[in-house]
Amino acid sequence: MTQVPFLDLRRHHAPIRDELMAAFEAVLDTSAFAGGPFVQQFEKDFAAYCGTRHCVAVGSGTDALWLALLALGVGPGDEVITVPMTFMATAEAITYAGARPVFVDIDRDTYTMDPRLLKQAITPRTRAIIPVHLYGQMADMEPILAIARAHGIPVVEDACQAHGAAYQGRRAGAWGDLGCFSFYPGKNLGALGEGGAVVTNDENLARTVAMLRDHGQARKYYHDRVGWNARMDGLQGAALQIKLKRLEAGNEARRRHAAQYRALLADAGGVSLPVERPGSRHVYHLFVVRVPDRDAVLRELGERGVHCGIHYPIPVHLQEAYRDLGLRVGMFPVSEQCAAEVLSLPMYPELTEDQVEFVAQELKRCLSRHAATRSAAAVPQPTAQLVPCA
């Protein structure tokens, strides 16, 4: 039976295996294990790629978000605005900075922060805004930045899913005061372990993040403030230099697969396809559709060899960990509806056209079976009223 895994990192690394091994030997020969020249070279390369003046490599995307907030001076008593439809780390970084996450719902087409809801969430305590470039598409930065600037509030981009995405021709990370990236292995640019980076055009912010990631020292054993160990490994810096050279080709392949999915699923009933914002470049970290009976569809596709994911089944405001915030079902209805309906189809550069076709065909079969069952049922299911957003 055909099997389409959700991710295939072995195949991703096979063509660069020799190059990676040579780079590891170079790290081994120079013992540049924590920070050091390999990381510094990657920082230069990645800043150039993003179109920013500075890049500070750190241990993970979570570190990047947390240190970015600390560099802005966010602390206890402050509020930081973000979206509930994101990975937990966005909110965790806010909490670990000592501040309180405040949520703004997402736009139902692009799944990113709805700028029309932003203003009403701002209070005198708001110290930062974190739009999340979810699934590989940037948030609507122009209105978000206009509102933020009018209130004098800095913007931190969560670009952990958006390496190489662009908005009006400028790349993710280059719009806000700081941009945060993750190099978790499955991201569009992934390390061979954990990694992250903060990019910025502001020299002071870059210096502060660099200090914070290294125990608050700019000079060895002179600690200006309390920082943390959030340095990037030399091995990761070396691997990321090599992998960065292939990021554009990977993003283009993802965009081709997305176009093929789109063409094949155009006539499928009951499925909402991702919407690309005009003037934006979506880099399809994930290809997320919305379907009724999502959990059954996920299970049945798995049985047919098509392995999908859910990003994310529970919005952050409804997580047990944030029970203390006192937020309830119904407060962020778009996020909540998406959480119930989103389904991530296999998406990575190494997918073949045959695999994309197989996934689309199996999804269509599955959906028409469900549609037939629903129309045969006496009582209409509420999920049958799903409004396609494309």
Ligand X SMILES: *Cc1c(COP(=O)(O)O)cnc(C)c1O
- The residue ranges that bind ligand X (CB under 6 A) are 60-62, 86-87, 89-90, 132, 158, 160-161, 182, 184, 196
CA distances from 246 to 242, 249, 252, 311 (A): 7, 5, 10, 25
Which tokens go with 295?
Answer: 């959990």
| Minimum separation from the CB atom of position 352 to ligand X (A) | 26
Distance CA 363, CA 380 (A): 22
| Minimum separation from the CB atom of position 198 to ligand X (A) | 12
User: Is 61 or 346 the residue whose CB approaches ligand X more closely?
Assistant: 61
Distance CA 240, CA 14 (A): 15
User: Is 87 or 358 the residue whose CB approaches ligand X more closely?
Assistant: 87
User: Is 63 or 293 the residue whose CB approaches ligand X more closely?
Assistant: 63
User: Is 251 or 355 the residue whose CB approaches ligand X more closely?
Assistant: 251
Q: Indicate the burial class of 81 (C-beta count within 10 angstroms; 0-12, 13-18, 19 or more).
A: buried
| Minimum separation from the CB atom of position 299 to ligand X (A) | 24
DSSP 193-212: S--EEEEES-HHHHHHHHHH
3-state secondary structure of 103: strand
| Minimum separation from the CB atom of position 49 to ligand X (A) | 18
| Minimum separation from the CB atom of position 225 to ligand X (A) | 23
Distance CA 298, CA 307 (A): 8
User: Is 182 or 251 the residue whose CB approaches ligand X more closely?
Assistant: 182
| Minimum separation from the CB atom of position 58 to ligand X (A) | 9
User: Is 94 or 174 the residue whose CB approaches ligand X more closely?
Assistant: 94
User: Is 140 or 362 the residue whose CB approaches ligand X more closely?
Assistant: 140
DSSP 304-372: TTB--B-S-SS-GGGSGGGGGG---TTSSHHHHHHHHHEEEEP--TT--HHHHHHHHHHHHHHHHHHHH
User: Is 240 or 386 the residue whose CB approaches ligand X more closely?
Assistant: 240
| Minimum separation from the CB atom of position 92 to ligand X (A) | 9
| Minimum separation from the CB atom of position 103 to ligand X (A) | 14
- Cis-peptide into 312, omega within 30 deg: yes
Distance CA 78, CA 122 (A): 11
Asked if residues 83 and 103 have their Cβ atoms less than 8 Å apart, the reply is yes
Cα 294 versus chain centre, distance: 22
User: Is 132 or 318 the residue whose CB approaches ligand X more closely?
Assistant: 132
| Minimum separation from the CB atom of position 31 to ligand X (A) | 25
Closest residue to ligand X using C-beta atoms: 61
- Of the candidates 386, 296, 303, 282, the one whose C-alpha atom is nearest the C-alpha of residue 343 is 296
